[in-house]
Structure 1
Amino acid sequence: MGAVRAELGRRLQRWRRTALPILQAALAAGLAWFVATALVGHPHPFFAPISAVVCLGVSLGQRPRRVAELVVGVSVGVGVGDVLISQIGSGPWQIALVVALAMSAAVLLDGGAVIALQSGSSAVLVATLLPPSSNGGFDRMVDALIGGVVGLAVTALLPANPLTIAHRHGKVVLGELSTALRGIASAVAEHDTAKASDALAQLRKSQTAIEDFKDALKAGQEIATIAPIRWHRRNELDHYREAAVPVDYALRNTRVLARRALAAIRDGEQVPDNLPDVLRAYADAVDLLRTELAGGDRPERTRKAVRDAASTATTTELGGDGFSTRVVLAQIRSLAVDLLQATGLSRADAVQALPPLTGKP
């Protein structure tokens, strides 16, 4: 029974995350049909609501730029399909030709894969669902444009919260970084190659999360730009945008760190006793960064936490004479620079903020 409730809870949570896009698509479909019938005078504007739904989709955080690309794609496909099918009829070779030409026209107009694919699928609809003898003509392209424009309008007037999108993806990325650092710390403390391997394997999967994070920030920035009720959120995304690239570098450097820590453990190198404490201190700083970003604050406390952790990550404090161990210590220094940059410092200021490498501050 508990498992059923848990599964139901997960499904409800998933629905709540997509409730706004579902509402957007439903509203856009109804409005597109109304505009095409009542205002433009088309009796059966099939492509108006279908274009609105296709352009919006049901993906939370859909980028307005992608919606605009889909508007172009649908319209080009419908237009090319109408012109050609009315002249050459419908059949296997006609469908193949229409799809090829519609996708080619889309590529020449913009070059985006999304536009090309949507142009091809729209051309197929024209070639197969509506016979060439019908009187759709130019009206169907107009309907497609109406649906797309209505979809964009709904995106602007009923937008997702850009900060919610950024929070969700930022939480995932920073959580993976923090978990990886704690995993490496445990592996080093226990001289456990299995734990080090697990941490490395998880880090190798983290690139997808960071790419999703960057896409989410682009989506949030576009929403905050075109949606009047979200204009006041534009500056609040700055902290996340400042952190995105340095966090990506931090994940990459942590991946190198995990690989060399695994090698050091496997080769029996003498690893500094306080290295796990330094790694855990960095993990705490990452957790603090996640909290401060979610709160909309400048990550000043994170900056101090990173510098405090780095104060023991010097040659004097950590030592180490094995090759892999020395690489680990170098990566710890690089990681500190990355995390300081994630708080808004430039690279030069981040390096200057760290204590000397060969001694205490």
Structure 2
Amino acid sequence: MRTRLRRVRHTALAIVQSALGAALAWGIATGPLIGHDRPFFAPIAALIALGGGLGQRLPRVLELVGGVALGVLIGDLLIVWIGTGVVQIAVIVALAMTVAVLVGGGAVIVTQAGASAVLVVTLIPPTDGEAINLDRFVDTLVGGGVALAMSILVLPLNPVSAARRQIDPLLVTLAQLLEESARVLAERDRAAASQNLVQARATQGDVDAMHAALEGANEVAKIAPVRWRKKGHLRDYLDAAVPLDHMSRNVRVLCRHVIGLLRRGEPVPQVLPQSLRALGGALRLLRLDLERGDEPGESRTSAVAAARMATEALEHTGGFSGQVVVAQVRSLAVDVLHATGLGRDEAQELLPAVPEGPVSYGNE
């Protein structure tokens, strides 16, 4: 129930946007300026654009509006000439989707064009002798305009909240993977290590969702005047995105070599699991620092401590996989430092030096 209530809270803005947008579109279309009796397509267009566009980039919202408007326009133009029926539905839908493809529309605009043409043909077909009526096309433009106004001017999403909803769970997941890696190393639990790798590989979907959400959030922060003051806080999340992507990849490499270390029976210095726990703690501190907009001093300190402990373990690992695990801890520490806003040279200066040797240290 808590999870479901949390989903409701996260989608509350979408619900309010959609409800108000549909009502406002209907009110404008039936008002004295336009005066349509049954402007069905005005609230429908607003609902489609708002429901499908929340958190998406502006081009997707425009595609949704354009797809509906194109389908309605083509349906209105053709239905008067060829009438209605089974064959006519097929022809009108095919033409609407073909035109959508010709104008360069993506899958969204093509699908919406076809669906809207179906509604035009089947919902309120014209009576005999009726001339071409573009009222429904006008209603669609009204609904689309209302949707854009709601998304940009009236109730735009909070870009920082949108970014946080994607980045916070990813940081927690990566921290848990590192902490579980520390446990399986300390207890030499090969079965749990394999399961940990499966969970680490599953983070790629979260990374892709993070990038998509940040693109939409950044666009809102640029074009929505009421959200301009969020740009500074959002920048912290944007700066952390690429290092987070690197972290997820490095965690997968680390989990894979933890399995190799245990399979080969290589020694596990006590300080190595400790370095992984410190690194997990750095990620949890980073999440709090990003949320509060604070200077990430503690997360930096914890990341450097993790790198220092891993470096101490290097001369006691005694095998290739152990050396790679150490290398990945150091690379992850660099990723954390990058996510806190430090440049590559600044991050390198904070890390302890390593003994000369053939080991390659990933993103370092």
Normalization by structure 2: what TM-score?
0.90
- Between 1:224-233 and 1:167-176, the stretch displaced more is 224-233
What's the CA shift for 1:146? Answer: 0.6
Distance, in Å, in 2 between the alignment partners of 1:258 and 1:45 is 58
Residue 60 of structure 1: how far off its partner (Å): 5.6
Aligned residue number for residue 361 of structure 2: none
Among 130, 150, 154, the residue aligned to 1:154 = 150
Is 2:119 the counterpart of 1:125? yes
- How far off is 1:320 after superposition? 1.9
Q: Deviation of residue 49 (structure 1)? A: 0.8
Q: Partner of 2:306 in structure 1?
A: 309
The one of 5, 27, 32 equivalent to 2:20 is 27
State the distance in 2 between where 1:126 and 1:178 align: 52
After TM superposition, give the deviation of residue 339 of structure 1 in Å. Answer: 1.6
Please state how far the C-alpha of 1:186 moved relative to its aligned partner.
Answer: 0.3
Which of 218, 227, 232 aligns to 2:224? It is 227
What amino acid maps onto 1:286 in structure 2? L
Aligned match of 1:16: 9
Q: What residue in structure 2 maps to residue 4 of structure 1?
A: none
Distance 2:221 2:184 in 1: 43
The answer to whether the 8 Å contact 1:36/1:48 transfers is: yes
Alignment correspondent of 2:110: 116
Deviation by residue 1:173-194 (Cα, 9 ceiling, x = unmatched)? 0001000000101000100012
Whichever residue aligns with residue 204 of structure 1, its letter is R
2:294 match: 297
- Paired residue for 1:191, among 188, 191, 215? 188
Is 1:84 paired with 2:78? yes
Contact 2:271/2:313, CA 8 A, preserved across alignment: no
CA contact (8 A) 1:239 1:298 kept: no
Change beyond 3 A, Cα 1:273–1:31:
same
Q: CA deviation at 1:247?
A: 0.5
How far apart are the structure 2 equivalents of 1:11 and 1:332?
36
Deviates more, 1:105-114 or 1:154-163: 105-114
Is the contact made by 1:250 and 1:338 (CA closer than 8 Å) also made in structure 2?
yes
Compare 156-165 and 126-135 and name the one that shifted more: 126-135
Q: Give the conservation status (yes or no) of the 8 Å contact 1:161–1:230.
A: yes
How far apart, in 1, do the equivalents of 2:211 and 2:335 lie? 16
Contact 2:314–2:323, Cα closer than 8 Å, also in 1: no
C-alpha separation in 1, matches of 2:282 and 2:319: 27
- Report the Cα distance in structure 1 between the residues aligned to 2:208 and 2:216, rounded to whole angstroms: 12
Deviates further, 200-209 or 296-305? 296-305
Q: CA deviation at 1:106?
A: 2.4
Percent of aligned pairs with the same amino acid: 49
Residues 18 and 60, structure 1, Cα contact 8 Å, conserved in 2: no
Partner of 1:66: 60
- Residue 353 of structure 2: SS of its match in structure 1? coil
Give the residue type in structure 1 aligned to 2:287: R
Distance 2:169 2:121 in 1: 44
Q: Matched residue of 2:134: which SS?
A: helix
Per the TM alignment, residue 287 of structure 1 is displaced from its structure 2 partner at its CA by 0.6
From 40, 45, 55, the counterpart of 1:51: 45
Structure 1 SS opposite 2:256: helix
| Distance in 2 separating the partners of 1:18 and 1:82 | 35
CA distance in 1: counterparts of 2:211 and 2:148, whole angstroms: 22
Aligned-partner Cα distance in 2 for 1:50–1:188: 56
**How many residues end up aligned between the 2 structures?**
352
Q: How does 1:175-190 map to 2 (within 5 A)?
A: 175-190=172-187
When normalised by structure 1's length, the TM-score is 0.91
Name the aligned partner's letter for residue 37 of structure 1.
T
In 2: Cα distance, 1:175 partner to 1:110 partner: 41
Q: Which residue matches 1:3?
A: none
Task: Give the conservation status (yes or no) of the 8 Å contact 1:64–1:155.
Answer: no
Gaps of 5+ in 1: 1-6
Check conservation: 2:218, 2:234, Cα contact below 8 A: yes
Contact 2:53 2:60 in 1 (8 A): no
- 1:226-246 C-alpha deviation (Å, 9 max, x unpaired): 322211101210010010111
> How many angstroms does 1:132 deviate by?
4.5
The 10-residue stretch of structure 1 (216-225 or 270-279) with the greater mean CA deviation from structure 2: 216-225
Q: Deviations over 1:149-170 (max 9, x none)?
A: 1011112211222212222221
Q: Which residue identity does 2:69 align to in structure 1? A: S
Task: Give the superposition deviation at 1:286.
Answer: 0.4
SS across alignment from 2:309: coil
SS in 2 for 1:69: helix
Q: After superposition, give the CA deviation of every residue in 1:298-344 in whole Å (9 maximum; x if it has no partner).
A: 42332232122212222675532322222222222221222221112
Match of 2:256 in 1: 259
What is the identity, as a one-letter code, of the residue corresponding to 1:179? Answer: Q
CA RMSD of aligned residues (A): 2.1
For 2:167 and 2:88, how far apart are their aligned partners in 1?
48
Letter in 1 for 2:270: D
Decide which moves more: 123-132 or 198-207: 123-132
1:41 aligns with 2:45: no
Stretch of structure 1 that moved more, 261-270 or 294-303: 294-303
Which moved further from structure 2: 190-199 or 211-220? Answer: 211-220
For structure 2, the residue ranges without an aligned partner over 5 or more in a row are: 357-364
